[in-house]
Amino acid sequence: MDHRNFTIAMRVATVTAMFALATAAEAQHSSTHKPTTKASSQPLVPDGRRTGLVLGVYTMAAPGVSLTGGDVDGEFKTNFGPGGGVMVGYGFNRTFSGYASVDVAKQGATGDLAGSFGLRHIELGARANLPYGSATTVPYLTASYGQRALGARVSDDFTGTEYDMRLSGGMFGVGGGLEHVISPTLAVDGGLAVAFGRFSHGDIDGESSSLAVNGTTSIRLRLGMTWRPAPPRRG
Condensed to tens digits (0 to 9), the pLDDT of residues 57-84 reads: 999 999 999 999 998 888 889 999 999 9
Q: Please indicate, yes or no, if residue 232 is contained in any of the structural domains.
A: no
Helix (H, G, I), strand (E, B) or coil at 12: helix
User: What percent of the chain stands above pLDDT 70?
Assistant: 79
Distance CA(20)–CA(225), nearest Å, equals 9
Amino acid at 39: A
Determine the pLDDT at residue 28: 47
Q: Please indicate, yes or no, if residue 117 is contained in any of the structural domains.
A: yes
Contacts of 233 (CB under 8 A, 6+ apart): 39, 40, 42, 44
Task: At 14, give phi and psi (nearest 5°).
Answer: -65, -45
Confirm whether pTM is higher than 0.75.
yes
Q: Please indicate, yes or no, if residue 40 is contained in any of the structural domains.
A: no
Radius of gyration of the chain (CA): 21
Q: Please indicate, yes or no, if residue 139 is contained in any of the structural domains.
A: yes
CATH number at residue 116: 2.40.160.20
Contacts of 93 (CB under 8 A, 6+ apart): 51
Q: Please indicate, yes or no, if residue 128 is contained in any of the structural domains.
A: yes
Domain count, the chain: 1
Distance CA(78)–CA(71), nearest Å, equals 17
Residue span of the structural domain in which 27 resides: 2-33+53-227
Q: Please indicate, yes or no, if residue 234 is contained in any of the structural domains.
A: no
Q: What is the pLDDT of residues 181-224, one digit of tens each?
A: 999 999 999 999 999 999 999 998 888 999 999 999 999 999 99
